[in-house]
Structure 1
């Protein structure tokens, strides 16, 4: 088969023009469903154009000039906006001015201004008492807002926040002393979860009049702002914002865009408000950038400016050709090896920002042989479908053109953009896998403990010493579907599984523990009639062993295992390597003894055996320590910590089940 080295390129970077374009904008269209006889202002639109948040004083309340201004949400359904719905307390405070909502791309955090009491204002709820606040959406519920600290807020007027799509940059308006005009724009960046001291954006952006209500577009290329009378636009060139230019009529035709305008690159639509409405009040309108200079950035794979990871879930794999999946650019990384064995596997990349993404699949044309390989990646062999602003389906046709059926479902990836503050396991599990998730700091005194109850009621446990982790991370223990592992159990293989498979994965990408560290895998089995035979099999419980699949050699490796016939479980040391484990027996134990992983050195002073406890039948060769001693560190204190953790497993206090 002729080798191919064709790549699919999803363009995430945009060529910036050397000069600003002469612009043409359409006549404003007022959105009837969003507007009322009252003031309807400061729209924020989602990247897919289907959700809008506004501020409105349509519900009376309060005594100050803008008290009763609250935040509402509307959704686009069948081409029409639903009636704006007021967000409940505690996000809205009916006695305060709550306005100018701005959300991260994933909709998880909303930043807004409010004159509710805070450490930075006297609590009189005057219009100029506003501070910047943030609320987190957890399971569809907006939480109690939190006022940002002194690196953002002052005792002056701080308002109109605009959060970047990745949640790491905040631009807002303030009339604090030391600026260039009545109101200036300030910027702050989040570093290690902490907002840094705000900086004035300088004289190119700010002037002697006023610059307010910043809004950076979805791609991070354009920023729209106002001088309290007209809307202006700046463009970022080589990372630097250029001098703002005033938009032409018909956008600026009266007291227009006083405090808000947001541009959606995906639809080339500017959302703003002005007083030109036939209703005679402040109302929300849209206008189209008719000669938009860039190709539609949302037609293809796009990563907005900011810090992101790419989370990849393998949904489908070719039944005929086994393949590996790579990310070539902007980093070189093998994402998923032997994809047919790893349907359901979830991986993530390191952080990246606004660059090209190049994926390819590496196909073994001889079905796991050592023959020719093909690379399929160019647009001829892949199709990208954007399902929402953060999520894409990438389907590959992994057969040569003369054999392809062009349904693009041979290998299918779900690709998601994940922000710096989101762990990759938090989002919906698309395959319905039975998983448990837990996080821990990477230090010598903690352990990552995962307890999983399988669909058949079988309990499995993994204990990973913190000293074996390279960094703080999430661990995921998954009940493997036996149907997905049938190709791992070859007729000539000595392992006969009982049907229990586990995948152990770390979010930081580790596939083995640090040198000198070992963990514990413990799997229960069923022997309800106490006949010494695993229920549903002919396997004697004393012959059970836990094994690890070695992807490099394609062989199963026995782990030092101890069977507890009273508790009906098998405990073993995973040594250093993972991720796939199976519980089974060796079919030819006498003629073909299983390969055993070399054990880690036992503790210098192992604790004495408990004479009153059950006798453990070990499948270890006799030269190595038992499983618990392997999992212990190199001192008795480490042993005690591991035993103590195992004692807590039944309490559930160390368990965090994956959200459904």
Structure 2
């Protein structure tokens, strides 16, 4: 694959890029799989996303602006800020769609014009980004390199056309205070201004990463609660942004569960609510999306026609972003996804420090 780098960093950073190859790969915590050929077999139906988003590094966790003309995603391509003590350097990049092709990504890090994008990339891991529906907010997660229990939710806001500094959710009055010093809070789906689903890993409280929710009642965010034992497994369960149906009764999840038809590694699944509002055991989305490798963090384009996400060989973060027509996934034909999350800071005009 042709080498590619972030636009803003191609000439100014001299740190060597961390390129992930099958000869230098590292397992993610808790990974499982069948091994053998199935662990490296490419997906049968989806194809690599067109344009310049994918590189010889790793790309994953893509989402889109409401008009579908800007993509934001995670990359380890050349120009990423080197993370200390780890094997990966995860940064957030942004690409624009021009003439039907995704352009060379812009690194959202030091030196960027704040009218173009926010400076959010650091030596930490920046992951799981999403624009708000009006494009004036980016939600994301930040981790200490290699420490999955350090994940906290962050937000950065554009005020009067200028991107401000990123803030921890706990420091933003409009957002629920759910970040903890000992747990992982990540991969939310903001269903409305009063309901947020999020992924939560807290030793002694959750199994691994479980799916929880937090609701606002009478203007006050309540205590978070688990979605229950059927949708959650002993393995890692989480979500990715637009994977909720418009009626709020179906949810796309990424899970490492080993039962119910798992293909191995991370798979994509769908869970439905019953008549009592209880989330049921998920159903595997099948071979159109899932493989014996890592199929992670799939989500929908804003028009609801494409299902896009990441695939890589089992046990690695050596991923590319892929795409498939939603209707080519049998269990998704009648799924109508929500769009990008609402801007919960829309009434906040104070600039962050």
Please report the TM-score for the alignment, with normalisation by the length of structure 2. Answer: 0.54
Verify: 1:157 aligned to 2:236, yes or no: yes
| Contact 1:168–1:306, Cα closer than 8 Å, also in 2 | no
User: Within the alignment, does 1:24 sit opposite 2:24 as a pair?
Assistant: no
1:390-436 CA deviation, whole Å, 9 max, x = no partner?
8xxxxxxxxxxxxxxxxxxxxxxxxxxxxxxxxxxxxxxxxxxxxxx
The 3-state SS of whatever aligns with 1:171 is strand
CA deviation string 1:103-140 (max 9, x = no partner)? 12x3332222221146652xxxxxxx211111124466
Counterpart Cα distance in 2 of 1:165 and 1:30:
31
User: In the alignment, what sits opposite 1:103?
Assistant: 190
**2:269 is the alignment partner of 1:182:** no
Residue equivalent to 1:42 = 128
Shift of 1:237: 2.6
Residues 220 and 53 (structure 1), Cα distance of their counterparts in 2 relative to 1, 3 Å cut: same
1:43·1:55 contact (CA, 8 Å) conserved in 2? yes
The 3-state SS of whatever aligns with 1:36 is coil
Higher RCO (CA < 8 A, seq sep 6+): 2
State the Cα deviation string for residues 239-269 of structure 1 (Å, max 9, x = none): 7479xxxxxxxxxxxxxxxxxxxxxxxxxxx
The reply on whether 1:237 has 2:327 as its aligned counterpart is: yes
Which has more radius of gyration?
Answer: 1
1:53–1:101 CA contact under 8 A, matched in 2: no
SS at match of 1:67: helix
2:278 to 194, 213, 216: 194
User: Could you say which residue in structure 2 is the equivalent of 1:215?
Assistant: 299
Instruction: Give the Å deviation of 1:78.
Output: 2.4
- Quote how far apart the aligned CAs of 1:31 are: 2.2
SS of equivalent residue, structure 2 residue 294: coil
The Cα shift of 1:149 comes to: 0.8
**Contact map agreement 2:285 2:331 (CA 8 A) in 1:** no
Q: Which of 323, 336, 347 in structure 2 is aligned with 1:305?
A: 336
Asked whether the equivalents of residues 55 and 99 of structure 1 are also in contact (C-alpha less than 8 Å), the reply is yes
Partner of 2:310: 226
Counting only pairs closer than 5 Å after superposition, residues 322-471 of structure 1 correspond to structure 2 as none
Which structure 1 segments of 5+ residues have no match? 1-18, 122-128, 243-303, 308-353, 355-387, 391-660
CA root-mean-square deviation: 3.4
Distance 2:250 2:306 in 1: 15
In structure 2, distance between residues paired with 1:222 and 1:146: 31
The answer (yes or no) to whether the contact 2:200–2:206 under 8 Å persists in 1 is no
| 2:216 corresponds to 1:143 | no
- Aligned-pair CA distance for 1:206: 0.3
| Alignment map for 1:80-95 (pairs within 5 Å) | 80-88=162-170, 90-95=177-182
- Cα displacement string for residues 486-532 of structure 1 (whole angstroms, at most 9, x for unaligned residues): xxxxxxxxxxxxxxxxxxxxxxxxxxxxxxxxxxxxxxxxxxxxxxx
Stretches of structure 2 lacking an aligned partner (at least 5 in a row): 1-45, 51-99, 110-117, 171-175, 312-316, 343-353
Instruction: Flag the 1:39–1:195 CA change in 2: closer, same or farther, 3 A.
Output: same
Contact 2:231-2:281 within 8 A present in 1 as well: yes
Q: 1:115 aligns with which of 201, 204, 213?
A: 201
> Relative to structure 1, is the Cα distance of residues 217 and 145 closer, same or farther in structure 2, using a 3 angstrom cutoff?
farther
Per-residue CA deviations over 1:589-623 (Å, capped at 9, x if unaligned) read xxxxxxxxxxxxxxxxxxxxxxxxxxxxxxxxxxx
**1:234 Cα offset (Å):** 1.9
More strand by share: 1
TM-score (norm 1): 0.30
Asked if residue 74 in structure 1 is aligned to residue 156 in structure 2, the reply is yes
C-alpha distance in 2, partners of 1:102/1:132?
Answer: 10
Aligned pairs, number = 220
Counterpart CA distance in 1 for 2:162 and 2:205 is 42
1-structure distance, mates of 2:164, 2:218: 22
